[in-house]
Amino acid sequence: MRSSARVVIIGGGVHGASTLYHLVKEGWTDVMLIEKAELTSGSTWHAAGQITRSVADYTTAAFHHYAIELYEGLEAETGQGISLHQPGGLRLAFNDLELDQLKTHLGVGRVLGYPIELISGFEAQEINPFFDMTGVVGAIWTAGEGHVDPSGVTMAFANFARSAGAEVVRRNRVVEVNALPAGSESGNWQVVTEQGTVTSEHVVDAAGCYGHHGHPGGRARVHGRQRSGDTDARHGLAPPEHPVRRSGHLHRHHLGTELPRDHGPACTRFAAAAH
């Protein structure tokens, strides 16, 4: 294991591996990823791998659109099978409210320029004769949606990065991350792992949903200097509490009505209870 790197990424799920791949594509090859177990052994291993781009939020849709285009070329680029299947996607509206919601998907899709159509229930029935379309007042048809193997995608990212000079270290838990004193020549961060210490300019925390646990066996403890916006920006670290941008449609519409996204009274009750 190298003792210094420009970037250290903690966590070998799809996000860590994707970050590694994209850094390498930008020409940053002095980068490493450290995973405490095996690649994909976190949430990524469990994911169904469904890929969609039809959402009401522009930013999310842009991410999804980019990902699908990336997956379409990833197997050829890396030689790693990712089991991409693109049978398309249908979203059904059972009332005018849901139809309005789907029209926002249509608008976002048209702005971003991917294939998306508002069709009738009859047309949806022709596309998928196995659905019972009773009560459907309209649908969004999105060609190119489908599913992919999340483990294959992670391996493809990691293999590509490795072949370009990046290092992937498995079975090595990060136990601590310390900020080095300003002006230190050895680097800005000290990443302490079970197999030794690495210094780096940047640390990316991609340790997943259990990463926030501060006890040994959970997330590495990140010991910083002052956490001002300036130092966060310089070191590529996000402040711990960022406002999250949400599309808001679930919150706007769910009380007393059916959820626009997930049809049915069970979903309405769940949303009302969660509110």
Ligand X SMILES: Cc1cc2nc3c(=O)[nH]c(=O)nc-3n(C[C@H](O)[C@H](O)[C@H](O)COP(=O)(O)OP(=O)(O)OC[C@H]3O[C@@H](n4cnc5c(N)ncnc54)[C@H](O)[C@@H]3O)c2cc1C
DSSP state of 85: B
Backbone angles phi, psi at 155, to 5 degrees: -65, -40
* Angle subtended at Cα 253 by Cα 133 and Cα 53, rounded to the nearest 5 degrees: 60
Beta strands in the chain (DSSP E): 4-10, 31-34, 50-51, 89-93, 117-119, 138-142, 146-147, 167-169, 174-179, 189-193, 196-205, 221-223
From 39-47, 86-94, 124-132, 258-266, span contacting ligand X (CB under 6 A): 39-47
Number of helical (H) and strand (E) elements in the chain, helices listed first:
9, 12
Q: How far is the CB of 97 from ligand X (least distance, A)?
A: 26
Interface characters, 160-189, with ligand X (x: CB under 6 A): -------------xx---------------
Amino acid at 47: A
Q: Which residue from 191, 204, 206, 222 is in contact with ligand X, where contact means CB under 6 A?
A: 206
Q: How many chain residues interact with ligand X (CB under 6 A)?
A: 29
Nearest-CA neighbor of 145 among 244, 233, 72, 94? 72
Nearest approach in angstroms of CB 46 to ligand X is: 4
**Near ligand X by CB under 6 A: residue from 13, 89, 138, 144:** 13
Beta bridge partners of 191: 177, 198
Binding segment (CB under 6 A) for ligand X, from list 29-37, 133-141, 176-184, 246-254: 29-37
Q: Which segment (13-21, 133-141, 160-168, 180-188) binds ligand X by CB under 6 A? A: 13-21
- Work out the angle at residue 25's Cα, subtended by the Cα atoms of residues 75 and 242, and round it to the nearest 5 degrees: 105
Binding of ligand X at residue 64 (CB under 6 A)?
Answer: no
**Binding flag, residue 219, ligand X (CB under 6 A):** yes
In the complex, the smallest distance separating the C-beta of residue 145 from ligand X, rounded to whole angstroms, is 11
53 lines the binding site for ligand X (CB under 6 A): no
Q: Please report where in the chains the tokens 């969660």 appear, as a residue.
A: 274
C-beta closer to ligand X: residue 20 or 139: 20
DSSP conformational letter for 7: E
**Looking at beta carbons only, is 44 or 142 nearer to ligand X?**
44
Q: Does 42 interact with ligand X (rule: CB under 6 A)?
A: yes
Identify the residue whose tokens are 């402040």. 239
Among 8, 24, 31, 34, binds ligand X (CB under 6 A): 34
Binding site for ligand X (CB under 6 A): 10-16, 34-37, 41-44, 46-50, 173-174, 206-209, 211, 219-220
